[in-house]
Chains A and B, each alone.
Chain A
């Protein structure tokens, strides 16, 4: 009964955000559920493979049509000088996320990692689970299905731990990210009109905004899942603590980076076919990662940049290992990684390459440190929030765990007071222009 109710609610949620495209989700669920059952019940390798390829063609085909058709047409026009009219396509919300989830399920069944479920309701529950529908995390069937079958009631730890995560997510998204975004939007809207310091702050601002926005959504989704009795794992692990790009991708949007590793990088050969092939695989994986974020050259460039950095890091690994591991070298490594990641976010955020270059060029050529105190004086709340987010990254994890434990074990009235304090904080910071979740756009 609970499953029927949650599926109905999830579909209603999808219907409200994407209209009749919710039928697409139902159709994808039905086709992939059926094909996975076929794969599971047949031993003939050719038949199994054909069914898997058919499933991939269906799900990837839909994603490509809805997300990339106009991008392809636009580039074809530019290359061959044709004048194909763009198609009138609306991107269904969350299609990038549920497509990756359904791919992982079918491939895992094909690889005999998990058995195919015989219960369609169970499968559509997994694929349409509303907390993860819009912006992830990309939950895998091998972790989710057993929890669904176990049907364990949520413990005190899960219910109040979930509430803690939701409150944390609300603060990240509705207080920090939305507030920081207001200045970032202004600066990126007219980069030629700002000084180097102001543009630098916009770059750093977006670096923090995208983290708080996306991890805030993930925290809320994980928290809701937890209250419903599901452990959805973690999706961010203090990514800006990373000392190199490889580590960054182990901490940033973990459900996506592990998905890319398991379903693209490793099937392509991973590091098993020599160095050169490994670098090609890395580049291909990160280009797919970039393209997954959106049908635009700037996302491809962003993926290319990260792929290149991962290759360089792998290439230099033997030499880097010889460098002594101390505070100074760690500081340099962190600074290089953070600067690189922040710079690539400029291309991710800017509407065009031209804007991105204007932001970077303006930062370098119009930089005058004398603006720092003026900026801090005028935008002290903004700066204070930035400093808080920055410092939050370097507080030991044990401290967060202690706070979480403290919240869970506290009296009910304390939890209630924390809850109303957070909501009041959101009301105080709320602006007239509320920012949408950044990752919901993908």
Chain B
């Protein structure tokens, strides 16, 4: 091997070591006023491969055994010989569903690009049932992005919603060691929501996740998390987002679930129109 190759390879290897080392600080490094992002080399290299699989299989197992509208919290345990054991927790609907609230609501719907498909359909539901809907789309957003900021609280103060829909998690399907990294941001979001009734719509997995659904299920109040994973979706050509028709059907299932199984049922009768317009606020992706 000639010396030029050695020089080139040493650049690659030392670069990898440097970025792997820096990625130990997985939330980035603050240099004075500047925040420097770090890569995810360390977790990719150091996380045992079966960690992701365990949580991933968990969600797959749920897909196969549970209908989407009978959400069950599932705990995962691994025995000494590596066998994965699933233990079903009580179903949410057994934990005390309130009677249907038939009054008109101001609904705030926040989330990532999935709102492009869900938003217009939920707007049709709002129109049909006398609610006011405000959609807030923050493209490429995650629990971390929302949880780092007070944007949710600001929108709550601005619109005074009495019901909140959240659809987040699609951009975090493959984050490893997710609880360590995202739990505090999720808690921050839930703290901003406070006592307002809410429904968190889980991401429409296109691959097994590394634990986002488990974390959401464990953190959301009983009857406030809708597990989308395991449902059938027709995908648009990016392979991730449901098509408009599939997103509308998804929204139908969510609304039916809110009325029949959610902790805070509100009037969401199926609308005659397929979609409607509503006030929509769009935030661009951050760098």
* Residues on the A chain within 8 Å of B207, using CB: none
Total number of B residues with any Cβ neighbor in A under 8 Å = 29
Contact B140 A423 (CB under 8 A): no
**Interfacial residues of chain B within 58-115, with CB under 8 A of chain A in the complex:** 113
Contact B4 A182 (CB under 8 A): no
**Interfacial residues of chain A within 404-436, with CB under 8 A of chain B in the complex:** 412, 415-416, 419-420, 423-424, 427-433
* Closest chain A CB from B264 CB (angstroms): 30
Contact B19 A432 (CB under 8 A): no
* Residues on the B chain within 8 Å of A378, using CB: 284
Contact B7 A412 (CB under 8 A): yes
* Residues on the A chain within 8 Å of B18, using CB: 420
Knowing A420-B18, A433-B171, say if A427 contacts B139 (CB, 8 Å).
Answer: no
Knowing A159-B5, A186-B139, say if A419 contacts B15 (CB, 8 Å).
Answer: yes
* Residues on the A chain within 8 Å of B19, using CB: 420, 423, 427
Whether B176 is near chain A, meaning CB under 8 Å from some CB there, is no
CA distance A432 to B38 in the complex (A): 14
Contact B2 A186 (CB under 8 A): no
Interface of B: prevailing SS: mixed
**Interfacial residues of chain A within 188-209, with CB under 8 A of chain B in the complex:** 189-190, 193
Whether B55 is near chain A, meaning CB under 8 Å from some CB there, is no
Contact B8 A160 (CB under 8 A): yes
* Closest chain A CB from B32 CB (angstroms): 16
Whether A156 is near chain B, meaning CB under 8 Å from some CB there, is yes
Total number of A residues with any Cβ neighbor in B under 8 Å = 34
CA distance A386 to B7 in the complex (A): 34
* Residues on the B chain within 8 Å of A433, using CB: 113, 139-140, 171, 285
* Residues on the B chain within 8 Å of A153, using CB: 2
* Closest chain A CB from B15 CB (angstroms): 5
Which one, B4, B14, B172, contacts A416 given CB within 8 A? Answer: B14
Whether A379 is near chain B, meaning CB under 8 Å from some CB there, is yes
* Most interface-central of B7, B11, B142, B282 (chain A CB within 10 A): B11
* Closest chain B CB from A414 CB (angstroms): 11
* Residues on the B chain within 8 Å of A182, using CB: 139-140, 284-285
Contact B171 A427 (CB under 8 A): no
Contact A190 B116 (CB under 8 A): yes
A-B contact pairs, 24 of them (CB 8 A): A153-B2, A154-B2, A154-B5, A155-B4, A159-B5, A160-B4, A163-B8, A163-B11, A179-B287, A182-B285, A186-B282, A227-B8, A351-B237, A416-B15, A419-B15, A423-B39, A424-B36, A427-B38, A428-B37, A431-B140, A432-B140, A432-B142, A432-B172, A433-B113
B residues whose Cβ falls under 8 Å from a Cβ of A: 2, 4-5, 7-8, 10-11, 14-15, 18-19, 36-39, 113, 116, 139-142, 171-172, 237, 280, 282, 284-285, 287
Further 17 A-B residue pairs, CB within 8 A, beyond A182-B139, A382-B284: A154-B4, A156-B4, A160-B4, A163-B11, A179-B287, A182-B140, A182-B284, A412-B7, A415-B7, A416-B11, A420-B19, A428-B287, A429-B287, A431-B287, A432-B172, A432-B285, A433-B139
